[in-house]
Structures are given as C-alpha cells and as structure tokens.
Structure 1
Amino acid sequence: MKSENIFEISNLIKNSKLAIFFGAGLDFYSGVPLVKGEHGIMTKILSQLPFSAEDNDFLLNMSNMPFEAFFSILGKHSNIDHLLEIFNIGKPNKNHYIIAKAIKCGYIKTVVTTNFTEHIEQALEFEGMVEGKDYLVARSDSDFMSIDLEGVLPVLIKIHGCISRKRRSCYNHRKGS
C-alpha cells in the first residue's frame, strides 16, 4: 500500500468519515453457515423443500442466482419465516466487537452490511450503545429514505433487512404483505 493511501485512510479515521462494508464472511465466525457448500445455508434450505436432486444441484452449483434473489423468490411464494431462523444462531465474534468499539470511539461513522443477523447490534449493545440514542439503523426501504448520513449519529445500514424485522426484509416481500 502506498504511503499516500495510508495517510488518506488515517485522515478519514481521524475525521470520523470512515465507512465500512461487510458481508456474510463476518458472520461465518459466529456460527452462521456460508451460503453455498455442503453445509451451507442454501443446502439446508433446499433439503427442507420438495425439489428434486437435479433441481437442488442446479440451484447450488450451476445457477448464478444470488442468494438474496433465491430468498426473495421463496418469500414471494411461501412463508419463509422458519427458514430465516438460521440467522438467529451464533453470537458476535471479535470482528463485530472491534467494529462496535470503533463506532463507539467515533472512528467509524457508517457501516453498510448485507448481513441479516443482529450480531453487530449485539456488539454495539455490549459497548453500552443504545439504538436511536447512540446510533441509527436502517433496515427497510422507508428507513433508507429517511436516514441522514450527514447527521451526528453513526449509521448502520442493513441493505437486506434484519432477522428482527422479517416481514420488512428483502427476503419476505410476499404479495399482500
């Protein structure tokens, strides 16, 4: 890494203008399975659905369908609340606690995540932070439209929603809900 890049990152941190983005890999170390693979979330879900072995193989190995699209399609055609419970397992890991500490200390202003778990919120709570008072969370389209990224409080943006609000997640947009 070039020294000017390090200097620029250090200034962003000092000025509390650092934003981070993370996804499913962070929750893997909390016990949440990865999406694909023999023990992955899609494998577990497909084993509970009435698909043929060929269909399962296609969805797991040959389809380039993103996980979010897969879940969204399921949510449009059935109640998937019981499938979403996989995101309730585990607890925050060291990475969640480091991010929470950096937010509390003012080094990180914005966190964007695809993660559906509440591990980062649990780590923030562990740091003594209270949602709505010490930080804001955007979990739905209406939240995204009203969030103030220039405001005083740090912001956690959960672009796919959150397990605590299953009905409003991108995974559960059924007709009529």
Structure 2
Amino acid sequence: MRWLILFLLAPVTVLAQDLQGNDTASNWRVTHYASHGVWNSICDEREEYGALKQRCYIRRAEVFSYRPKFGAQYIFITPAPDGVEIEFGIEPGTLFSPSGFRIDGEQGVAWRTRRPGCLTGLGCRFKGPRADEIVQAMLDGDGYRFVFRDRHGQAQDLTWPLQEFDAAWQDFRHQAQARNLLTSQH
C-alpha cells in the first residue's frame, strides 16, 4: 500500500506502471491537470500495443501518518460503463467506527457506508446507482468524515472538505466527455 500511496502523491508521469505491470517510470503523458482545493482532476494517455489509451479521474490522497508508522488513504473517481466508479484505498487493518465513514452536510449525515470491506480496509468500491448516490452527496455535502483506528492502533479523525468538489466534478466530466470516456448524462 505504501508504494501505491507514493504513486498517488507523486507527479503522475514519474511513477507509473509499464505495460507489463511493473512499477517503473512509464510512458503516461499528462494531458490535463487541475487542482480544486484538495481535489485533483487529471487526464493522461499512452500508446498501448499500437492504440492510444486515455483515462481521466478525480483523485484525493492523504497521508495521515508518516514514518515509522506510515498510513494513508485515497479516493479515485473514474469513468465506468454505467456512469462512474468510486474506489477508496484504505490500509488493511484500518477499523472505522460504525458511523465514521460518512459525508456530512448541513442537515447532518448525508451519506454513510457500513460495508464491512470499507470499514476494515478490505476493499471499498461503488458503481452504478451507488456511485451516483455518493457523487450527489459529495456535491451537496460539506465534508467527508473519517473516524477510525489505523493499522497501528492510532486514533484518526480526518475531514476532507467538499466545497471545491463541484468544480473538480465539472472539470472531470468535461474532460472525460471530450475524450469519449464518460456518457453525457453523467
């Protein structure tokens, strides 16, 4: 996980996987990069077996604990055949409180998950209507709230502000649609 987080925090073209899946400097070329508060809207491309492969995504990554007890988490929002896919990267062994993985809004909790995989770092992905529900909560909400014990047993309480998410979402949609990576209704 540490190498994955370093990849997420480093410039995209410096650390990437080659066509064989090795973590080496690669041939991805950033074609679009925009920061909106803590949210990044990124597109890049490379040649794969004679064809141009393009991708766009929204990314947020946070290192919440440095050496020697490294800990981090991230979110990726990417185009999917039925809209978008949302993936949370959480360290294995992380334990969220029962209401500690949520989006807060003016009226209280706008969205939360109680999926066991999300609450324990075993895998946390949402697609289709579930992803759409999260995006809408992000657009309407004030902040992501993460209350948990990390894999080292340290209590953590993180908030990711959502005030600039709308700008990142609009930019991502525009860029992904321009590359035919996202259907127009999303």
Larger radius of gyration between Structure 1 and Structure 2 = 1
Structure with more of its chain in strand, by fraction = 2
Q: TM-score normalised by the shorter chain: which range applies?
A: under 0.3
Higher normalized contact order (CA 8 Å, seq sep 6+, divided by chain length): 1
TM-score by length of 1: 0.27
